[in-house]
Each structure stands twice: as C-alpha cells, then as structure tokens.
Amino acid sequence: MDSILVTGNGPLNGQIPIAGAKNACLTLMPATLLSDEPLTLTNAPRLSDIKTMTQLLESLGAEVRAMADGQVLAMSSHELTNLRADYDIVRKMRASNLVLGPLLARAGEAVVSLPGGCAIGARPMDLHISALEALGADIDLRDGYLHAKVSGGRLTGAVHEMRFASVGATENFVMAATLAKGTSVLKNAAREPEIVDLIHCLQKMGAKIDGAGTSTITIEGVDRLGGATHPVVVDRIELGTYMLAPAIAGGEVELLGGRIDLIESFVEKLDAAGVDVWETANGIATKRRADHIKAVDVTTEVFPGFPTDLQAQMMAMLCTADGVSNLEETIFENRFMHAPELMRMGAQIDVQGGTAKVTGVERMKGAPVMATDLRASVSLILAGLAAEGETRVNRVYHLDRGYERLVEKLSGVGAKVERVPGV
C-alpha cells in the first residue's frame, strides 16, 4: 500500500490550482438520471470517488465518457437498464445514495444499498427516507437495501421540513421533486454551495426551483428535463486545505480559482489565528502575519458555519499555535481519529467526547502515522510540512478519494513531498 513521505523544509511559495468540488460533482453526476438528454460537466475533479460514481451510473444504464484528461464528463442516460444500486459499488462511497431520488423520479422505483465511505459516524439514511416518503415513495429496508417504489409511478409534490439540515437529503429531495407532480417545498434545507451548484445545473436542464442558498427551497415539478453543460463549482475544502499550508509552513501561496465567499467562516478563524487572506486577480492568496499562529476556538457547523471537513486540517495548524485551542465537532461523531496520530508527532491533544483541547507545542516531530479517513490523511501531511525530520503517512488511498494530484500541487510550491509505492 502506498504511503506519502513529507519532510519539513521551510516556507512555501507559488500557486496552487484548485479543482472542481468533489462533493458538488458527485451530486451533479446522478442528475443525468433525470433526463434522457446529455449532461456535460466541466471542471470535474480527477478522483477515485468520481470513478466510483461513474461505475455506479454505468451499472444503471448511463453512458459516461471522461474527456480533456478527465476534467470533462459527458453523460447520457438515454435508457435506464437497471434500477438496483449494488452494494459492491455503493459501499465504497457515501454519495452513492444520491441515485435514489433521481431513480424514483424518473422510473418510479429503485433498490439502493446502504452506503459506505469514511468511518466517521453513523450518517443515517432516515432523513433521506422521510424526505422521499413525503413525496409519495414507499421505502422499506430489507437485507441492507432500501427498496423504494412510487404507487402510480410518479411522485407528488409536498411540503416537508427536515429535523436536521442534511446536505445529502436536501439533494435527494430536490432532484426527486423536479419531476414530481405539483409543487414541493423543503424547509430547513441545507444551504451549502454544492447544493446551490446543483440547483443551477437543474435549472439549466429546465427545472423550476426557487430559494437556492436559503433554508426554504420551492420546486415546481415539470414533466421532463433536458440536457445541459455545467461547470462544477470550485472545491472549498481543497481550497481551505491548501490555504493552511503556508499558515503551517510559512511563505505565501496563491490559490487559483479560490473564492472567499465559499469559506467566509473559515477565513474569519484564520484571521483570528493571525493568517492574512486576500483576493487576487486569479483567486485568493494567504500567508501568516507572524512567526507563530495564535490559538483559536473552533466549532463545526452546517454551512455557512465552519466546515466539519476542515476541522482535521485546522487542528494540524493549531498543534503549534501559541496557547490552547478548543475544537468542538457537532456534525459527525468519531471525527477526532487523527488526534492520536498527531500526538505521535508530538502534539498535545486531549479529546473528551465531541471536544478536543489542543495545547500548542513549539515544534512537531516527524513520525510514521496512519490515515484514518480522507480529511485526517491530509491533516497529517500538513502537519508534516513544518515538523522536524520525516513524516510517513500510511493508508493514503483515502487521499485519492478527495485530493487530485496532491503531491504535484504541494511540490509545485516548494514542499518536500513524495509518494512511495507500497511493497
């Protein structure tokens, strides 16, 4: 199994291009199931999760062609030949459950395995189920599969309020409601940029949707959707991750394509910690104001709050901050699995339930560490950028799910990072 070797070697300088958002692309791809006309996505990220979603869509009868070195995905679901999303594919990735809404909307039935992905808590499907049941689906869990059917063959518009602003359930509801009969209203909807991006794409396909980016989304069902070409929004998590690199290692880095509006709450915390962020002609740039970072408290929240997907990376930076930082994780349980690995590098971290207390140390030391999930793996690489000696991060297959060409991007700004093939 491959590992990544990081050697702390001082400041970083240069530019890093930011890819299209993984989570947006994984949401946009199932939208092809809603139409028999082609859907083309540009600015697609080149990641293993995208390949998994491609596999899943192809298993349902869609055609997916990657062009321009994988950055353009041309898709067509002229005919759905299968309505069963199989465990062997779905187990690899959480986002696989996003085929449920489109299949129900277009075909009136679906059998979808319970999903997999990173081991960061239960991530239940009940929010998805209740949202789709509100539209008239009958859903039954048997043998690890959701068996879903619509009596009469077509979903019906409804008003539904979610008890939690789930991103995935919002996406499933919105896609399903585009072809439902009548008007649907989703209250307490998630507001993430990836949802806004999905809605913009669905509108290009002919959907009638109001309220993108707000907590109430109204969808007027239409009889059919057409084709479209749509650019995937920039990846705010990749953006935030690379913004932290010069904050940890020193130097100044420009993030090409970056937008502050996607990560305002994160930028506020960086500012409080002593990191400058400013807009440039081609994106945004970042550097720390002094030699040392200041401690800050962070609580993860749904958008527009601090993203849970940047918590591990933020912790890596705060390991060498002046003072004590408290990080509270409110979105996913079990999301401090990176803490023991950072402690192997000399960090002082005390985890109690959903809170981690980080006492800054002068310098981290390189060590062999193990990635437990996608964001944890990149936090260990970031920590290694400023650590003494070598840090070897094992189990990096998680990385390939969320960061394209990471070694190339970090090496391009002067980091000493290499991928070592496993034996």
* C-beta neighbour count of 218 within 10 angstroms: 17
| Residue 25 annotated as catalytic | no
What's the rounded Cα separation, in Å, for the pair 238 and 18?
7
Given a contact cutoff of 8 angstroms between Cβ atoms, the answer to whether 375 and 313 are in contact is yes
Alpha helices in 229-263 (DSSP H): 236-249
Q: How far is CA 194 from the centre of its chain?
A: 9
Can you read off the two tokens belonging to residue 209? 């949707």
What's the rounded Cα separation, in Å, for the pair 102 and 13?
44
Q: How far is CA 204 from the centre of its chain?
A: 23
Can you read off the two tokens belonging to residue 406? 């990471």
DSSP letters of 201-231? HHHHTT-EEE-TTSSEEEEE--S----EEEE
Given a contact cutoff of 8 angstroms between Cβ atoms, the answer to whether 285 and 253 are in contact is yes
Q: How far is CA 212 from the centre of its chain?
A: 19
236-249 helix and 264-273 helix, angle to the nearest 10 degrees: 10
Strands 228-231 and 39-42, how do they pair? parallel
Give the 3-state DSSP-derived string for 277-312, with helices as H, strands as E and coil as C: EEEECCEEEEEECCCCCECCCEEECCCCCECHHHHH
Percent of the chain as helix, strand, coil, to the nearest 5: 35, 30, 40
Given a contact cutoff of 8 angstroms between Cβ atoms, the answer to whether 358 and 324 are in contact is yes
**The one catalytic residue among 25, 118, 201, 319:** 118
What's the rounded Cα separation, in Å, for the pair 49 and 12?
29
- Give me the active site residues, please: 118
